[in-house]
Amino acid sequence: MRVLVFDINETLLDLSTLKPEFKRIFGSESVTGMWFSQLLQLSMVAALTTTYKDFADLARDALELTAKKQGINLNLEDAAAILGGMRRLKPHDDVVPSLNQLKEAGFRLVALTNSPYRILKSQLSHAGILDFFEQTLSVDEVKLFKPHPAVYQMAAEKLGVATSDIRMIAAHGWDTTGAIRAGCKAAFVARAGMYLSASDEKPDIIEPSLSQVAKQILLKDA
């Protein structure tokens, strides 16, 4: 298995980059996670009901809803500071060395994200990791969000391989589960606060960092 498909937000890019803005606006860094969970909920409702609205627009909707729940009157400038920050997320410390190691070993590296193309390239360029990827793919292609099986099938078709030739690498159990149920293999990056539930499919690689995931991939898939 030589095709490695990476989730972007939280798996490669660190959402804690946004915490100072959330602390300034909401008074608590913890609202960062509340907002992103709300965003994921909206995206999954969209996928289940096959009603597409791109991830950046849903991010704005989720932010406005989070502000209402927190009793905050969110102004346009503060909203722009957070939403614009999604284009400027920093990579986790283990990302560049891990991607470099896997690329040098001859793996095909691909990005697959819920973010729209207009955000994706900005994110990867700012993080300095765009050149690692053979292709960068967005759910814009199918107008459905991960973990819908059509997303993983689209990736396989774009790459000219079967889903069974793909290993999805993500820090979200719903993403690795969706990939496995679509016929892929997966690797779960169990970053701080990330866990698999009892109902999730269990990937054959589960490690607490991308660097350790990369070591296991080199052992299993090289």
CATH number where 207 lies: 3.40.50.1000
The pTM (predicted TM-score) of the whole model is: 0.94
Q: Let me know whether 24 and 62 are in one domain.
A: yes
Q: Let me know whether 65 and 168 are in one domain.
A: no
Asked whether residue 185 carries a pLDDT value surpassing 80, the answer given is yes
**CA triple 137-39-9, angle to 5 deg:** 40
Mean pLDDT over residues 98-117, rounded? 96
**If pLDDT is split at 50, 70 and 90, which confidence band does 2 have?**
confident
**If pLDDT is split at 50, 70 and 90, which confidence band does 136 have?**
very high
HEC assignment per residue over 159-206: HCCCHHHEEEEECCHHHHHHHHHCCCEEEEECCCCCCCCCCCCCCCEE
Show the domain range for 182.
Answer: 3-14+89-220
**If pLDDT is split at 50, 70 and 90, which confidence band does 1 have?**
low
Rounded Cα gap, residues 135 and 4, in angstroms: 11
Asked whether residue 222 carries a pLDDT value surpassing 80, the answer given is no
